[in-house]
Amino acid sequence: MSASSPTPRALRWLFWLAGTLSLGLGIVGVVVPGLPTTPFVLLAAACYAKASPRLHRWLREHRFFGPMVRDWEEHRSLHKRTKRFAQVTMLVMVAISAWGLRERPVTLAIVLIAAVIGAVWVARIPTREP
């Protein structure tokens, strides 16, 4: 192995960093319209699985994020209830933002475009019945 190639420790650190950034974006996505929470949390779980078994276990057992992570890892799908919750939350936050941005058409357009992208992203995740 050459001196310039990353070591497993360096890769774990990069996965930890990517997982932490993804989880942060997922948390921000809870309140920012158009920024979907689910894909970022799932990405964080995948990164943590490679970086830290302890963080991966913590995310799997988290009371809010754990069910979606477990569903994805075990079935590569989400429950209909989880998807519906994500979509309704996004809709409510986008509606509130749209009302607040009604006098700023460019910013409103950006928020609406981001919301559509987020809604399509979540809709494309496979659904399974409970």
- Whether residue 58 contacts residue 71, with contact meaning beta carbons closer than 8 Å, is answered with no
Query: Residue 88 and residue 54: Cα distance in Å, rounded?
Result: 32
Query: Residue 89 and residue 108: Cα distance in Å, rounded?
Result: 18
* pLDDT over 70 (residue 65): yes
Query: Residue 40 and residue 20: Cα distance in Å, rounded?
Result: 10
Q: What is the pLDDT of residue 6?
A: 55
Q: What is the pLDDT of residue 7?
A: 54
| Range of lowest pLDDT (3-7, 62-66, 71-75) | 3-7
Q: Residue 45's pLDDT band (boundaries 50, 70, 90)?
A: very high
CA dihedral 110, 119, 93, 104 (to 10 degrees): 20
